[in-house]
Amino acid sequence: MITIYTKSVTKRLQYTVDFIFNEICSLPFTISSDIQTLNGFVINYSNEQIVVPSYHICPSGLLDDESKLYPEIVSLKDQLFQLFPSENADHQFDVFSAIFFLITRMEEYEAKEVDEHGRYISSQSILVQHKVNHIPIVDVWVYDLIDQLNHCFHSNFQLSRKYKQYVTIDIDNAYAFKYKGFWRSLGGTVKDGITNKTKFKQRLDLWKGDSDDPYDTYGYLNSFSKKLSLEVVFFILLGDYAKYDKNIDHNHPKMIELLGQLKKFGQLGIHPSYQSFGKPHLINQEKERLKDCIDSNVSHSRFHFLRYTMPGSYRNLLKCGIENDYSMGYADQYGFRAGTCTPFYFYDLKSESKTSLKIHPFAYMEGVLKDYYAMDTKEATNSINQLKETVQKVNGVFTSIWHNESLSDKDRWKGWRSVFESSWV
């Protein structure tokens, strides 16, 4: 049993050590402020020198309720990025505060600027600024802490968790050409006839029965996921038609038929529309649409355009009964926005409370590699494999974002199906 001794047992500390020892380590632990009851392997998380043999982590003060401290940064001789450095302690930095700072996304609450879509700007992130967002630094810290405890106590704590991987697919537009209605189809045909001869030919081939709709990659996904026993989560955009929300109508019989097919080999979640930003009634409306289509409860979500802010967007999901969100990442960076590849519960800093909403970080989105980093297929494959290796080293959860469109292996996504397959093989 690991015992954490502290002068004050706060909600922030409880949340942090629960994430470390339950979610990552699966090791029994207790927290105590009574020095007379200390037993087992003791972590002294205080500024006191205690007589009980212990491993000392010097607290920075961040985990005191409502503390507003922000970290200093130090890179030690082993080049391990660290926050809240300390002296005269066994651990060289306050790892509890560092983890809390990152997974609560505290820095996003104080964001001075947002982008044109109202999103947090990735360049403001401390991890991006120091170029450590491409490794799950939080998980690395935890593994190092366990090594240090084993060394200190001559113990043999072993982490039992296993590496996992998930395929997540955003369906912003279920079909490129089909089921759009007469006027949308006519307008698209005229436009493509003038500006995009390749798409115009694809439309003609589809109408003649010579080819399938290029976005209809669902049969491929079904067979590939079954072949590799992959778990798949689909996020369905069901908002009303608008500039950034252009899926086919949620009431269309073919949309309902498609969702029924997808339900057979994957989980389905809502993809809250661009228009739903800051509007929980629209999120709930779209959730109910999906629920009606599949005749099943909906508990998963990922924001369209990754358009969300802390803490309001997560509070809105809670209001709508969402239990799991997969939006934790950037639309212009790959890597780990919260510094971890491990799912964690949303901690609301405004109310100082751990919530029931579980956050599932993703490691990359294919569009970021192609459009923001201008990677070709070989470069993308190498970058993905490097990310995957960092997750495997800590036996974490490897999750990515793909789209049914990007798996078409056509047009601008020519060759990217092989990149997708290499992610999991």
State pLDDT tens for residues 357-394: 999 999 999 999 999 999 999 999 999 999 999 999 99
Look at the chain and count its residues: 425
Average pLDDT over residues 74-78: 61
Question: pLDDT class for 99, splitting at 50, 70, 90?
Answer: very high
The pLDDT, as a whole number, for residue 77 is 47
d(CA 132, CA 379): 19
H or E segment at 75? strand 73-75
d(CA 237, CA 249): 10
State pLDDT tens for residues 19-58: 999 999 999 999 999 988 898 899 999 999 998 999 999 9
H or E segment at 313? helix 312-319
Question: In order of start, what are the domains of the chain with their CATH numbers?
Answer: 2-153 (no CATH), 164-176+213-424 (3.20.20.370)
d(CA 267, CA 400): 15
Within 10 Å of residue 335's Cβ, how many Cβ atoms? Answer: 27
Q: Give residue 318's identity as a one-letter amino acid code.
A: L
The pTM score is 0.94
Are 301 and 234 contacting, i.e. CB atoms less than 8 angstroms apart? Answer: no
Q: Is 227 exposed, middle or buried (0-12, 13-18, 19+ CB in 10 A)?
A: exposed
Which residues, in sequence order, are CB contacts of 304 under 8 Å at separation 6+?
170, 172, 237, 239, 244, 245, 271, 272, 273, 274, 276
